[in-house]
Structure 1
Amino acid sequence: MTQIVPIAALLIGSALLLLAGGLQGLLLPLRGSFEGFSDSSLGLLGTGWAIGYIGGCLLTPVIVRRVGHIRAFGVFCSLASIVVLLNLVFMTPWAWIPLRALSGFCFAGAAMVVESWLNERASPETRGRIFGIYTMINLGATTAGQMLLTLGDPAGFLFFVVGAMVYSCALLPTALSTAAAPQPLSQVRLDIRSLWRNSPVAVIGVFLVGISNSAFGTLGAVYGRQVGLSVSSIATMMSVALLAGALIQIPIGVLSDRIDRRMVLIGIAVVGCLLGAALTFGGALSPIAIIALVGAFGGMIYSMYPVIVAHANDHSPPGEFLKTSGGLLLLFGIGSVVGPLLAALMMTMTRPQGLFAVTSGAHALIIAFSIWRMTQRAPVAPDEKEDFVAMASGVRFSTPETLALDPRAEDEEETSRDAA
């Protein structure tokens, strides 16, 4: 408690931010489906979010340098609140797509400010615990936001108003906090050549995982709607997938620390492919069967990203954790721009199950490329590996400040100081 109390305001602000984000992220594709939006326009909602989120990660440090952390956070939360209400006013996909991009931009900016504050408050002794608490709060808040949809009808205006109110409330804890403003925010560079030299599997894998995860995260609710699931079943399905992805990271992390991480990645992708095939070709499945299969599917797809990051850092030079992980973050974001478009096109051309044909295709490419790379490079010895750290990659994209909060960043700082 002595560690949590000083950062309680920041954690509450983050929880409210993720609560509203979880609600909005599930509400919009469902409501758009009710309004008759095409699959392609619903896919563009995910693409817009990804573009806005990447832009927020890149431009927020510039904005914070101009106006400060508190003002920037207030602007991001206020704009996010306005965007939710504009979604209700302009019920058309051509308004929703740019609004979703603006929402992604604001969400990334607000998250970066909170995370930079937490990073400033974290000492070497508490960084790991603070990072773990922050990850659990984000997961719980996002799940709660999704499950709110079980309490009413998304065809009305209530959830739009609730989302706007929660975004507005998110700025209050930080605005009233007496904590000192943190140092300038971290920035990331996309150096594909360096990443490719260190780990080709990580470069290809993280791009393909971005395609798979964003496709499911954006259009999973649309799939559920089109195969006849109720709103409560859809919310349960998406939440179970998220929770499974968090829980299964523990055994997967232990396994990947002991054997070649590429073998672990291949195993996850194989199971993901099989589950995707079952959802694609399984015929008329009961709601319970769909929720169970999608839950297992989520456990696979949401555990891939941290395995890839750990593998890339195994091959990175000492002191380059932030550079490596930041580059992978942006590649994941680029894949997230492509994924919803491909999945929406497949769902339009075939049927709702086409969503899982796209994810299975991405996983098959991961399997093929990883197997080939295993013939080109020997595995890293277990005692030379970086420690696996679980990440809530299914909640939202990470930001550069999330990476700075990671306990491995402290090791990088110590390496830099020793070199100096």
Structure 2
Amino acid sequence: MSNTRMSAATWAGIGTALSCGLIAAVGIAINAPLFALTLDDTGMTPTEVGFLMTFAGLAGLLCTPVVPWLMGRFPVKGILGGGLLASSAMFLLYPVTDNIWVWTAIRFGFSTSLTIIFVASEAWFLELAPAHLRGRLLGLYAATFAGGFGIGGFVIAQLGHQGPATPYAGAAIMALATLPLLLFKTPAATRPEGAEAKPSALLARLMIAPALFVPAFAMGAIETSAFNLFPLWVREVGFEDAAAGYLIAASGLGNILLQGPIGMLADRYGRTRTLLAVAVIGFIGPFMLMVAKSPTEAYAICFLWSGCVTGFYTLGLMGLAERFGKTELAGANAAYGGSYGVGQLIAPLAGGTLLQTLGPSGFLAGLAVMALTPICAIAVQHQAQRKS
């Protein structure tokens, strides 16, 4: 399909999917430091905070296999609208109570609704993106997604984590994001049928090409650890609380500006070579943070490091679109989201334990190790291909 033959409705669909990714990321970026700082204020240890954060990963892991089933039975715009309204309601529930376990349950529901938004919107986006523009458009998708992190980080840096202002702002943002779904005429997503609509489609896609899903695992592990535990890391190294929000905003800005170039490099030099390059930077970045002497230095480092780590997600989605057909994309993207959820599940507790037992440097070293997993997957895949 050429660029000139794409209809206005197709471009509207791409823009609508982008807007859902943007707003969902805003919600995560507000929710993560809000939750972490509030728990830390109660005197909980980083390990305990990390444990409670694993429930968000568990929610994503449990609901991801259901998304192809939902997409086989309901219009994608209805699924996305329901997810956005549910997320808005979760934000409104936060100020109602100060009970930690109720907050954890709300966080579980929040993660469930956001996972549905991400998996459904990404599958729709991958279907609409033409092959000759896929790397650039996926770079734009990841940049938009990352921009949401920057916006969310700025919101909580300005409004703080105490009081109802931040949850109310989050609720309003999520609710307003339903407007593009109502206003624009867009193509419908292809509905999975038969085996492709079953939760088992996730495992089937995963077994076909397991190496394609490792970047999502790495991204889920690093992103969840960093965005949830950076607020505690900021306090450990002696920065002000507001630095946590600005650190997330700086990371988001790097993600916005670097995903386009990463996508173009992948179109030109190949996905695998580009993935190796960003993984090397993903490994080096945390060690640079260890020697940062000021918040400004930390912002600059996270700008580059986070932008490259987010490239894992961009390049992984590119691999999915290359490998699977339209009817397989919902299951493949559910498997991709499930891989991301596994990273979400195991990383916060591991990161919190490292922060508590080994201090800030141990936590950062853990982030560096996580960035090596895509390189290991590529090496194993190449070795298997040589033997076959």
Q: TM-score, normalised by structure 1?
A: 0.70
Q: Which residue of 2 aligns with 1:276?
A: 286
- State the distance in 2 between where 1:272 and 1:74 align: 34
- State the distance in 1 between where 2:89 and 2:161 align: 19
Secondary structure, counterpart of 1:27 in structure 2: helix
State whether structure 2 residue 84 is matched by structure 1 residue 84: no
Q: Which residue of 2 aligns with 1:221?
A: 231
Tell me if structure 2 keeps the 8 A contact 1:219–1:340.
yes
Tell me if structure 1 keeps the 8 A contact 2:55–2:108.
yes
- State the distance in 2 between where 1:145 and 1:160 align: 11
Deviation of residue 5 (structure 1)?
9.5
- State the distance in 1 between where 2:340 and 2:247 align: 24
Tell me if structure 1 keeps the 8 A contact 2:33–2:231.
yes
Query: Which residue of the other structure, out of 25, 33, 55, is the alignment partner of 1:26?
Result: 33
The structure-2 alpha-carbon separation of the partners of 1:126 and 1:61, relative to structure 1 and needing over 3 Å to count, comes to same
Structure 2: which 5+ runs fail to align?
A: 1-6
Q: Which residue of 2 aligns with 1:149?
A: 156
The structure-2 alpha-carbon separation of the partners of 1:89 and 1:337, relative to structure 1 and needing over 3 Å to count, comes to same
Query: Which residue of the other structure, out of 346, 353, 356, is the alignment partner of 1:338?
Result: 346
State whether structure 2 residue 294 is matched by structure 1 residue 286: yes
Q: Deviations over 1:378-409 (max 9, x none)?
A: 7xxxxxxxxxxxxxxxxxxxxxxxxxxxxxxx
Q: Which residue of 1 aligns with 2:169?
A: 162
Deviation of residue 159 (structure 1)?
0.8
Q: Which residue of 2 aligns with 1:39?
A: 46
The structure-2 alpha-carbon separation of the partners of 1:185 and 1:18, relative to structure 1 and needing over 3 Å to count, comes to farther
Tell me if structure 1 keeps the 8 A contact 2:138–2:263.
no
How large is the Cα RMSD of the aligned pairs? 4.2
Deviation of residue 359 (structure 1)?
1.6
Q: Deviations over 1:139-170 (max 9, x none)?
A: 43442222112323322221122222333333
Tell me if structure 2 keeps the 8 A contact 1:261–1:311.
yes
State whether structure 2 residue 307 is matched by structure 1 residue 299: yes
The structure-2 alpha-carbon separation of the partners of 1:250 and 1:274, relative to structure 1 and needing over 3 Å to count, comes to same
Q: Deviations over 1:148-199 (max 9, x none)?
A: 123233222211222223333334554x54858946755572236x64564x
Tell me if structure 1 keeps the 8 A contact 2:65–2:202.
no
Tell me if structure 2 keeps the 8 A contact 1:30–1:225.
no
Q: How does 1:254-403 map to 2 (within 5 A)?
A: 254-257=264-267, 259=269, 261-280=271-290, 282=291, 285-310=293-318, 316=323, 322=329, 324-368=332-376, 370-371=378-379, 373-377=381-385
Structure 1: which 5+ runs fail to align?
A: 379-420
Deviation of residue 339 (structure 1)?
1.3
When you count helix as a share of all residues, which structure comes out higher?
2
Secondary structure, counterpart of 2:160 in structure 1: coil
* Residue identity opposite 2:308 in structure 1: M
Q: Which residue of 2 aligns with 1:235?
A: 245
- Which piece of structure 1 moves more, 39-48 or 14-23? 14-23
Structure number with greater Rg is 1
Tell me if structure 2 keeps the 8 A contact 1:196–1:203.
no
- State the distance in 2 between where 1:154 and 1:87 align: 11
Q: Deviations over 1:253-286 (max 9, x none)?
A: 4444455654443333333222222334x3x722
Deviation of residue 227 (structure 1)?
2.0
Tell me if structure 2 keeps the 8 A contact 1:262–1:374.
no
- State the distance in 2 between where 1:70 and 1:372 align: 39
The structure-2 alpha-carbon separation of the partners of 1:253 and 1:240, relative to structure 1 and needing over 3 Å to count, comes to same
- State the distance in 2 between where 1:15 and 1:112 align: 13
* Residue identity opposite 1:278 in structure 2: M
* Residue identity opposite 1:346 in structure 2: L
Deviation of residue 86 (structure 1)?
2.8
Q: How does 1:397-416 map to 2 (within 5 A)?
A: none
Tell me if structure 2 keeps the 8 A contact 1:246–1:303.
no
Tell me if structure 1 keeps the 8 A contact 2:65–2:338.
no
Tell me if structure 1 keeps the 8 A contact 2:217–2:340.
yes
Deviation of residue 16 (structure 1)?
4.9
Deviation of residue 77 (structure 1)?
3.8
The structure-2 alpha-carbon separation of the partners of 1:51 and 1:70, relative to structure 1 and needing over 3 Å to count, comes to same
Tell me if structure 1 keeps the 8 A contact 2:150–2:251.
no
Q: How does 1:34-113 map to 2 (within 5 A)?
A: 34-60=41-67, 62=69, 75-110=82-117
Q: TM-score, normalised by structure 2?
A: 0.75
- State the distance in 1 between where 2:26 and 2:165 align: 15
Secondary structure, counterpart of 1:351 in structure 2: helix
- State the distance in 2 between where 1:326 and 1:297 align: 27
Tell me if structure 1 keeps the 8 A contact 2:9–2:187.
no
Tell me if structure 1 keeps the 8 A contact 2:23–2:173.
yes
The structure-2 alpha-carbon separation of the partners of 1:116 and 1:204, relative to structure 1 and needing over 3 Å to count, comes to closer
Q: State the percentage of identical aligned residues.
A: 19
- State the distance in 2 between where 1:65 and 1:337 align: 27
Q: Deviations over 1:110-160 (max 9, x none)?
A: 55676788789x697999698777665544344222211232332222112
Pairs aligned (count): 371
Query: Which residue of the other structure, out of 242, 246, 249, is the alignment partner of 2:259?
Result: 249
Q: Which residue of 1 aligns with 2:3?
A: none
Tell me if structure 2 keeps the 8 A contact 1:37–1:93.
no
The structure-2 alpha-carbon separation of the partners of 1:328 and 1:181, relative to structure 1 and needing over 3 Å to count, comes to closer
